[in-house]
Structures are given as C-alpha cells and as structure tokens.
Structure 1
Amino acid sequence: MQEQRRFDVWAAGAAYERYMGRWSRAVAEEFVARLDCADGLRWLDVGCGTGALSAVVAARRSPLRIVACDRSEAFVGSARATVPGPVRCLVADASSLPVRDAAYDVVVSGLTLNFLPRPAEAVAGMVRALRPGGLAAAYVWDYSEGMQFLRRFWDTAVALDPAAAALDEGRRFPDCRPDALRALWTGAALVDVSVTALEVPTVFADFTDLWQPFLAGQGPAPGYVASLTEPDRDRLRDAYETAVSSRPDGSIPLTARAWAVSGRKGEGRESPT
C-alpha cells in the first residue's frame, strides 16, 4: 500500500487543473445542483483541493459561510485565491478536522474519500461537525468503469506492463462503488442515505490535450508515467492514442461518471466523542 501511495502526489494546483480540475468543476456543478438543501447555510468542505466544490457552493447556494480544508498547502493556497465569498481555507487533515461539533448545516467532500487511508474515520469526523438534521454528502470518481479516460489509460498500461495493475485506481479504491459508499454512510449512522450517478462530458481537443497532463506527475496515473523510461513512456503514449477514438476534427469525446452519496444526521443525535 505504501508503494502505491507514493504515486498519489497532489501538490501543484496548476498541474492538477490541467489533469483533473477542469472535470472536477463540471462534476461539482452537477453535485451541488442535486443537493437537497436551502441557501444561506453553514458549509464545511473536507478535502477541498483547489476549491472547485467550494467555488460552486459559493456561486450557487449563497452560503452563510464556508470552511474549506485540505492537507495540501499548495491546494489550500489555490483555493484561497479562487473561492469567492465568505470562505475560510485551512490546511488540515480530513481525519482530524479542527472544527467544533455540530457547527455546520452541510458537510461535503469531493473526490477525496478514496485517497484517505481511513475513510470511515473521516466520515465520522464529518458527522461530528454536522448539526442534527444536517446533510453529509460526498462524491468520488467511478474509477472501475465510468471514468473513461483513466479506464482506457490503465487498461492500456496493464496490457503493456502487468505490474501497473497494482496502481490502477479501479482496483485500488473499492470505496468508489455504490454499495461501499452506502455502507460508509450507514456505518456512520446517517439516515435517508441515497447514492446517485453523476456524469459529465470530458471532451479533449486532440490527443495532445489528453496526453500532456499525464506528464505533470500529479496523481497516480501521471506518477506512474513519470516512473517509466523514455522508450516505455513512448510505447504507452502510442498504445493509448490507439485505444481512444477521435472525431474527424481530432477531438476525443469521452465521459466521466462519479458516484454521489448523501444522508442526514438524525435529529437529536449526540456527536461522537
């Protein structure tokens, strides 16, 4: 597991934006649009990254306030620079949130739970921060099937190098499936739990637009690419280009699916100690 996690590098905001951030913003819009909550509430964003989800909340839900936290200092710096409105950005680990009990109406987490060593512990912390009756919701990419550009990348990489299977997010992250997400939420004693699919288009201008972000070293797949020798990297690039279909204008139309889970903290429930 430690060997796998050394590829989970998330430190440079600009590189993340090119690789995943543009799609993160699109799925954040879908997620917030479907949340069953009012405007003018207190929000906590756990694992905020560069601030994509908090920015959508600020723009769409007129929050009373947002506290956004992430363990990456660079990502928190990006969030501070990009999220408008009444937001406070903190460097903090999801498993030890520096917030008061029952202080928030909505606690959310976007594309983060699968990268945490103890996701159930993080969800318990989210519930601790939530007022009775408040909403806890999160979403993660469907790495096993629905995140097409990554699915095709790993299928290609494993065909060339079977050892790459150990790094494939579809195999590594069993929590990125509906039943596992539901179990996390019900295990935290949340009620009215539901899991839904969110799907967004991921259209690349050409193969260069698809491939270049894999060279920046941000995330498991780019980390794997960085570990290859130049000949092996060229072989992977050529095989990957063959594995994706392009339109006559060179663009590559794919889609990305995420699974979203939500539930409420029971009325009158005490926060765990």
Structure 2
Amino acid sequence: MRERRDLWAVGDAYERYMGRWSRPVAEGFVAWLGREDGLRWLDVGCGTGALTAVVAARCRPSAVVALDRSAGFVASARETAAAPVCCVRGDALSLPVRGHACDVVVSGLALNFLPTPGAAVTEATRVVRPGGLVAAYVWDYGEGMTFLRRFWDAAISVDPSAAALDEGRRFPLCRPERLRTLWTQAGLDDGEVAPIEVPTVFADFADLWEPFLGGQGPAPDYVAGLAPAARDRLRDALRGALPARPDGSIALTARAWAVQGRRP
C-alpha cells in the first residue's frame, strides 16, 4: 500500500471534486448559526473561500479574516473576495490573531484533516471573545457523504487493502458524539450538533468519476496510485453501484455534521 497523502492545495481541481458541494452546505451552516449583522468573523481552513463568501453575503460582517495553510487555496479565495474580507496564509494550530479579537470563529470541512483537532478548537476558543461562538462542520464520511461512501465501498470490493484509506474509517471525529465531546473539552458551553444535508446531482457517470482523477484529497490520491487496469476495475465497480436515472443523471445526497458552542 502506497503512503497516503491528504492533498488539498489546488483550487480548480478541488472545485470540481468537492467545491461545488461545499457552497450549498456552507449556506445551510450559516443559516443554522443565525448570527446577527456587524460581527467580526474568522474562517479557519477557508479553502477556496466557499464559507467565507456565504458569511460575507449573508451576515453583513464588519470584518472577515479567511485563513488557510495552503498558498494555492488562499490565492483562489482572494480571486473572489471583496471588502471586508481579508485572505491570509496561516496555521489553525497557531492563529495569527490576538485573544478575544473575534465574535465568531468558524471552520468548514477542515477540522478532521488537522493533526490535532482538539488543539485547533482550543486555539479558536482563545481568539473568540467571551460569549462569542466557535463553530464548524465536517462531512459525514461514514454514511452520509453518499458518493464517497459508494466510492470506497467499490474500491474495497476490488482491492480490500483500500479499507485502510477509507475516510469513513480514518475520520471517527466526523460523528455527532465526537464533535460534541471536542467542543466540551475546549471549555465551550451550550454545545449543539446538527446535520446539514444537500443534494449532489451528477449529470452523468463521467461528471462523478472524472473529479476522482484530479489528485485532490484521499480518494483521488488513491486513484492516482492505481495501475490503469486496476483503475478501470474500480471505475466499472463504481458505475455498477450507482443508481442512474433514465437520462443518465445520478442523484445522491451529502450530509455534514455541524457543531457550535459559546466561550464562557
């Protein structure tokens, strides 16, 4: 088994693979938070800026700092950002922000990829003011992120060693009880966890399969390491496991788990 690489760095490839689903789940998340206008926001692990853009459009913030450790993602986020958004490169485990500087700290689809997610939540708690909100969401890789669940089930059916790379097994953090515990351990009060589900409709099988060839993230990285014959076997197994409509489109759903809590 080749060494796994959780590569997230190239904006265009990410957009086709995950970005198109990141935007609607960000809309649901921000609506769930229900924050008032005029607040200071920090988006940790902003990626290409999907959550940042929703915050800027819906919440009329006084300021938004969008932060990511990937220079490529920060560059992509800057392409569409406008005042009051500021996009910077930085580390979720050592935020370049003074204590109590933010009203809301959020993170979208990034927490489980950090080496020490508990430390990241503690750092987010440090920079939010007393009474401020710390919130995040992650894909439900175990069950609710359907097209990825079908992908890994197909991969394991033709290559049992792929089970070691399955995000549903690798990321137990992406469960309601684990998220709630993480927030409690960071000293946050009024912890709440909720599902956010969005439709993921693919025009045809190619629309679903081809983003797996882009090398962004654990599943595409696994595909990139396969020999051509093995890749073809996986493609055929996945095609056979998907419910295509008469017009060839494939309608699935994607669920994320969202968590929020207040700093005492």
TM-score, length-normalised on structure 1? Answer: 0.95
Question: What letter matches 1:95 in structure 2?
Answer: L
CA distance in 1, matches of 2:62, 2:4: 38
Structure 2 residue 256 is matched with structure 1 residue 258: yes
8 Å CA contact retained: 1:42, 1:63: yes
For residue 88 of structure 2, the aligned residue among 87, 90, 95 is 90
Question: What letter matches 2:92 in structure 1?
Answer: A
Question: What letter matches 1:184 in structure 2?
Answer: L
Question: What letter matches 1:216 in structure 2?
Answer: G
Question: What letter matches 2:10 in structure 1?
Answer: A
1:1-273 map, 5 Å: 6-266=4-264
Displacement after TM superposition at 1:4 (Å): 8.3
Unaligned runs of 5+ in 2: none
Displacement after TM superposition at 1:149 (Å): 0.1
8 Å CA contact retained: 2:44, 2:105: yes
CA distance in 1, matches of 2:2, 2:200: 26
Question: What letter matches 2:19 in structure 1?
Answer: G
Displacement after TM superposition at 1:84 (Å): 2.8
Displacement after TM superposition at 1:6 (Å): 3.7
Unaligned runs of 5+ in 1: 267-273
Displacement after TM superposition at 1:181 (Å): 0.1
8 Å CA contact retained: 1:143, 1:170: yes
Going from structure 1 to structure 2, the CA distance change for 1:118 and 1:69 (only over 3 Å counts) comes to same
Residue identity over aligned pairs, in percent, reads: 68
Q: Residues 204-248 of structure 1, C-alpha deviation per residue, up to 9 Å, x if partnerless? A: 000000000000000000000000000000010011000101111
Question: What letter matches 2:194 in structure 1?
Answer: T
CA distance in 1, matches of 2:246, 2:206: 15
- 4+ residue stretches of structure 1 with deviation over 2 A? 3-7
SS of corresponding position for 1:171 = helix
How many correspondences in the alignment? 264
Q: Residues 86-143 of structure 1, C-alpha deviation per residue, up to 9 Å, x if partnerless? A: 1111111111111110000000000001000100000011000100000110000000
8 Å CA contact retained: 1:4, 1:166: no
Question: What letter matches 1:30 in structure 2?
Answer: G
CA distance in 2, matches of 1:4, 1:48: 29
| Coordinate RMSD, CA, aligned | 1.1
SS of corresponding position for 2:207 = helix
CA distance in 2, matches of 1:83, 1:110: 17
8 Å CA contact retained: 1:9, 1:219: yes
CA distance in 2, matches of 1:139, 1:4: 29
8 Å CA contact retained: 2:187, 2:263: yes
Q: Residues 5-44 of structure 1, C-alpha deviation per residue, up to 9 Å, x if partnerless? A: 7421111100000000000001000000110321110000
CA distance in 2, matches of 1:226, 1:71: 23
Question: What letter matches 1:136 in structure 2?
Answer: V
CA distance in 2, matches of 1:35, 1:197: 13
